[in-house]
Amino acid sequence: MIAHLTDIVRASIVLLPQIVVALFVIFITWLLARLARGVMNRALKGTRLRPSLKELLTLLLSILVWVAGGMVAAVIVFPGLTPASMLAGLGIGSVAIGFAFKDIFENFLAGIIILFRREMRIGDHIECEGIEGQVDRIAIRESHIRQTDGQLVIVPNAILFKNPVTVRTDRDVRRVTIICGVAYDEDLDAARQVIADAVAACSTVRQGDLPIQVFAQEFADSSINFEVTWWTGATPVEVRKSKDEVVSGVKRGLDDAGIEIPFPYRTLTFKEPLKLRHGSDDTGRDETPES
């Protein structure tokens, strides 16, 4: 036992100069990694890349410097090692780590691709797999979505990458549709014009090259239904404000024109005569004469 410990001590003493040189190499690697991060930050400062993407590129450069420095230090301490053998070992280890952390790497790679995309930006309102809200942050592994009720949803990037994503604010306008019904005995052309004028008078409705469209859609149970479409701001609050103004304006316009917005009508047919109740006598019993 003592002889074995003695051999270890002697081997350590023999390797001491190499260990000192390896530690010096690690120190130089640390300095080079800091220098590389500073150079990368200055180089990316004037670009239009997203902050998260800039952080990723800086991190990858730093990792590359540390891997190179670590390999040099390992060769100094263990001269029998070669870069080829170390790269082979890294390859086998990478495969094992990849299988063990498949989901993490999947989200990581999806995050890199999303960061390079320009369609989904910070501040956009999106919808994906029932999750709808504003994009607060796009990180390497996950994205932060702030729902309209204020709650924060942390979504793995793989979900945003593998599923359809609706970007509601890709443009600054969005088309909105409501259904408005008028009675069957009304003049449809006059009703259509009243509805179109009421929508055009709303301040939240975007006009110019964006048309207001009013189309008779269907014969409903109690009314002829018009499909009314217009363009307004793209954010959810702008859509809600515009719907409120348009519905109020159309209701006011139809009322002023004397055009009926009907309640549902229902006609009941009975095969046999019915007994009608006209009231009750002093004893509280109903009088139900035959009709």
- Report how far residue 134's alpha carbon sits from residue 125's, in angstroms, rounded to the nearest whole number: 4
CATH of the domain at 17: 1.10.287
For CA atoms 278, 279, 281, 284, the dihedral sign is: positive
Successive 10-residue mean pLDDT values, the chain, 291 residues: 60 69 84 84 74 73 82 75 64 56 75 78 89 88 90 92 90 93 93 95 91 93 93 93 96 94 78 72 51 43
Which tens digit of pLDDT belongs to each residue from 165-203?
Answer: 999 988 889 999 999 999 999 999 999 999 999 999 999
Residue 197 has a pLDDT of 95
Find, among 46, 40, 47, the residue nearest to 65 by Cα: 40
Q: How remote is the C-alpha of 35 from its chain's centroid?
A: 36
Q: Do 274 and 234 fall within a single domain?
A: yes
φ and ψ at residue 41, rounded to 5 degrees: -65, -40
Identify whether residues 211 and 270 lie together within a single domain. yes
Task: Quote the number of domains for the chain.
Answer: 3
Q: What is the pLDDT of residue 290?
A: 47
Compute φ and ψ for 95, nearest 5 degrees. -65, -45
- The reply to whether 112 falls in a domain is no
Based on the domain organization, do 8 and 83 belong to the same domain? yes
Q: The CATH number of the domain where 248 resides is what?
A: 3.30.70.100
Q: Is residue 109 part of a domain?
A: no
Q: Is 214 exposed, middle or buried (0-12, 13-18, 19+ CB in 10 A)?
A: buried
Residue 14: domain span = 2-100
